[in-house]
Amino acid sequence: MTDAVLVETLAPHVRLVTLNRPEVRNAVNVSVTEGLAHALEASEADDDVWVVILTGAGGKAFSAGADLKEVAAGRALSLRTESGGFAGFTHFPREKPWIAAVDGFAVGGGCEIALACDLIVATETSVFGLPETRRALIAGAGGIYRLPRVLPRNIALELIATGAELPAARAYAYGMVNRLAAPGGAVPAALELATAICACAPVAVRESLKVARAALDADDATLRTRTREAMERNWQSEDYKEGPRAFVEKRQPKWVGR
């Protein structure tokens, strides 16, 4: 792990990952890529981690995307990994839910990192955007196909074609942002959401998300098959037995996550 990415336990079963380069709006360099990739792999391997919150340090930016100094120095390929794509994150086939806690700018690759998360919490003063076309670039970390999935089509196309910024309040109104928070309140709001997720059975959450993430990419027949496979894997979990037992005994379930 590097100082460019900080990892801590925020609450039981909730891990907080912080991009820690506030002096450059948490731009992604080689250290961020290595640190985020390591944090992602470690959270996937840790049975005690059920939800991860991803944020940026400093309160001014979630992330401004790729560090252009790295790009200018010819190290653009070092800002991605084979398994995870940009920042070691945007294309990683993870199972556990991640929540982006955005406070400030989430633009370019920073917006793409947020879109790669399952849920987004943002402060009222935050903004999103893919300004790449203004610089004769293409948002290559998933932004140009993920943005139309979470926004009305024409709004997404306008943002991509013009490079304009999208205020968080408008993103919330369109459903791209799950919850709005006051400035400085992104992580606490994300923790509330993470706590609600942790109240559910972790295996059932992960298996359900596997299918839900593919909902716009696969046909119904494929999704029915994947749903059946997810149900069969869930049936093998200890939590599958605990849920009905707790209901019958009129008590809160004690999930173990396996």
- The rounded distance, in Å, linking the Cα atoms of 165 and 72 is 24
- The rounded distance, in Å, linking the Cα atoms of 258 and 256 is 6
**Which residue, among 100, 109, 29, has the nearest Cα to 63 in the 3D structure?**
109
Given 112, 229, 238, 249, the catalytic residue: 112
Distances (CA, A) of 35 to 28, 80, 232: 10, 12, 35
Given 34, 132, 192, 242, the catalytic residue: 132
H-assigned helices in 82-219: 109-116, 143-150, 153-162, 168-174, 186-198, 202-213
112 in catalytic set: yes
- The rounded distance, in Å, linking the Cα atoms of 33 and 96 is 19
H or E stretch at 7: strand 5-11
H or E stretch at 8: strand 5-11
95 in catalytic set: no
Catalytically active residues, by annotation: 112, 132
